[in-house]
Amino acid sequence: MSENRSIPKHVAIIMDGNGRWATQRGLERQEGHIAGAKAVRAAIRAAATAGVDYVTLYTFSTENWGRPEAEINAIMELFCYMVQSQVEELIKEGVRVKIMGERSRFPEKVLSQIDYIEESTAKGETLTLILAFNYSSRREMVFAAQAIARRVAEGQIKVEEIDEELFSRSLMTAGVPDPDLIIRTSGEYRLSNFLLWQASYAELYFPEVLWPDFTEEDFNRALDIYAGRERRYGLVIQEKEER
């Protein structure tokens, strides 16, 4: 690890492979999510230590409502347990937690834990942890389009004023820089309806490791790989002159 490697401001992670991890061990899928929650702690710690400003975790997609009820309930319970068991440490570490997604459909208990974790960590300044929870990137874009259309219809803005910046500000990620690095574990090479607009210039990294086995070293390896990539944003980059 070099001392002055470039550190991504925002790392987004698709935490995939919990189910396979459990099945390989003859366990219920829920056990994979419990093990995955431990990997969440490791990733947050590694990100804070490295100086990453934002981490977004794909915790529950809108499509995940189609999973068996027992598994959905287990993830909801796990979220509530994580909030209760981690809140003190998160405050101590200066982690500010934000939940990103549609609040409809969540049981009352989950909604109150969402409010609780957001309020109690609101002053954190080391790292912002965004949990994509009941999140769908396509729906997020549809909602943005609706909000903009409403403002046009009400005469607040003109059609010509709609640009990329306004669209970005109308998304759930308003105010958050686009992810520089997106990691998806478990050897799957897809974005699966996650931050599709925001991923336009992100570096993508697909390690084979299943999420519950993802360690601080794996996170640091991802940062090293990111630091070795050349980001061109569609431009031609001149070779630096040797001095």
Distance of CA 91 to the CA centre of its chain: 19
The residue whose two tokens read 């001149």 is 238
What residues numbered 50-69 form the site for ligand FPP, per CB under 6 A? 57, 59, 64
78 sits near ligand FPP (criterion: CB under 6 A)? yes
Cα end-to-end span (Å), the chain: 25
Could you give the angle at the alpha carbon of 17 between the alpha carbons of 182 and 176, nearest 5°?
25
The residue whose two tokens read 């459990």 is 22
192 sits near ligand FPP (criterion: CB under 6 A)? no
Residue span binding ligand FPP (CB under 6 A) among the ranges 10-18, 93-101, 151-159, 227-235: 10-18
| Of positions 10, 12, 33, 171, contacts ligand FPP by CB under 6 A | 33
Q: Which is nearer to ligand FPP, 57 or 148 (CB)?
A: 57
The edge-to-edge listing of strands for the beta sheet with 181-184 is 95-100, 127-135, 54-61, 10-14, 181-184, 203-205
The residue whose two tokens read 């010509």 is 160
Q: Which residues contact 180 (CB under 8 A, 6 or more apart)?
A: 8, 9, 10, 11, 202, 203, 226, 231
CA 88 – CA 124 distance, rounded (Å): 12
| Of positions 48, 50, 54, 79, contacts ligand FPP by CB under 6 A | 79
Q: Fill in the amino acid letter for 158.
A: K
What residues numbered 210-239 form the site for ligand FPP, per CB under 6 A? 211
Contact 79, 133 (CB under 8 A): yes
Within 13 A of 84's CA, how many CA atoms are on the CB side?
Answer: 9
16 sits near ligand FPP (criterion: CB under 6 A)? yes
Q: Min. distance of Cβ 164 from ligand FPP in angstroms?
A: 30
Q: Which is nearer to ligand FPP, 133 or 226 (CB)?
A: 133
64 is catalytic: yes
Q: Which is nearer to ligand FPP, 17 or 179 (CB)?
A: 17
195 sits near ligand FPP (criterion: CB under 6 A)? no
| Of positions 10, 11, 13, 18, contacts ligand FPP by CB under 6 A | 18
17 sits near ligand FPP (criterion: CB under 6 A)? yes
The residue whose two tokens read 């935490």 is 15
10 sits near ligand FPP (criterion: CB under 6 A)? no
| Of positions 43, 44, 52, 82, contacts ligand FPP by CB under 6 A | 82
4 is catalytic: no
DSSP state of 191: -
| Of positions 8, 30, 36, 117, contacts ligand FPP by CB under 6 A | 36
Beta-strand runs (E) in 33-77 = 54-61
Catalytic member of 53, 64, 193, 213: 64
Residues labelled catalytic = 16, 64
Enumerate binding residues for ligand FPP (CB under 6 A): 15-20, 33, 36-37, 40, 57, 59, 64, 75, 78-79, 82, 131, 211
